[in-house]
């Protein structure tokens, strides 16, 4: 069976949750002391894309003027704007709940920015009760994301929330 963590480069011998703990530590170190939101979000997207196997897109959509606008990411060019409620990203933004989609072809309204994407995980970014954006990961493999990925990537978002100037990041 495919082990999505098999080639995780931090330390394949460590138990899965510890590997995400280490990723969070790396991200903390990467963005500590920097207040520029584009710089920080770009480095977070790059670090996560490099750290996790079997991804074809990792990045941020930021809530600006009532819609989601693409922010720093790694991968092929993506849809620039997504209406709230549309696609997997829009569903995460409207519900405020993480979306784990094993087969994007079966998700009503999925937006195919990259035809290679087969599964997707989207974590909403909630600050003081408001959704300021989403963190979106796409994989060319079906069912790439399991419960550990969900918990780990929610921890990644929780760790970066205090380090980002969201007012500045979401200015239209």
Binding site for ligand SME (CB under 6 A): 57, 78-79, 82, 87-89, 110-111, 113-114, 117, 120, 136, 138
> Measured from the CB of residue 43, what is the shortest distance to ligand SME in angstroms?
19
Task: Provide the minimum distance between the beta carbon of 171 and ligand SME in the complex, in angstroms, as a whole number.
Answer: 21
The residue nearest ligand SME at its CB is: 87
Helix axes 16-31, 147-160, angle to 10 degrees: 20
Residue 161 three-state SS: helix
Shortest Å distance, C-beta 139 to ligand SME: 10
Strands 67-75 and 119-127 come out as unpaired
Q: At closest approach, how far in Å is the CB of 127 from ligand SME?
A: 20
Cβ neighbour number for residue 33 with a 10 Å cutoff: 6
Q: Name the β-bridge partners of 74.
A: 58
Closer by beta carbon to ligand SME, 27 or else 82: 82
SS3 content of the chain, % helix, strand, coil (to 5): 35, 25, 40
* Comparison of 12 and 109: residue with beta carbon closer to ligand SME: 109
């Amino acid at each position: 069976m495919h082990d999505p963590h098999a080639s995780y480069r931090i330390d394949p011998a460590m138990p899965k949750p510890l590997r995400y703990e280490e990723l969070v530590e790396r991200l903390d170190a990467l963005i500590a002391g920097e207040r520029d939101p584009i710089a920080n979000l770009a480095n977070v997207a790059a670090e996560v894309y490099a750290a996790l196997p079997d991804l074809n897109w990792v990045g941020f959509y930021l809530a600006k003027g009532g819609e989601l606008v693409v922010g720093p990411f790694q991968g092929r060019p993506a849809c620039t704007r997504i209406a709230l409620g549309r696609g997997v990203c829009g569903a995460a933004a409207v519900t405020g709940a993480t979306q784990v989609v094993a087969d994007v072809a079966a998700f009503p309204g999925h937006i195919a920015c990259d035809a290679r994407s087969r599964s997707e995980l989207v974590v909403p970014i909630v600050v003081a009760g408001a959704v300021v954006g989403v963190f979106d990961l796409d994989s060319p493999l079906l069912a790439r994301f399991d419960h550990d990925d969900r918990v780990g990537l929610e921890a990644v978002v929780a760790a970066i929330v205090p380090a980002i100037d969201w007012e500045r990041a979401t200015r239209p």
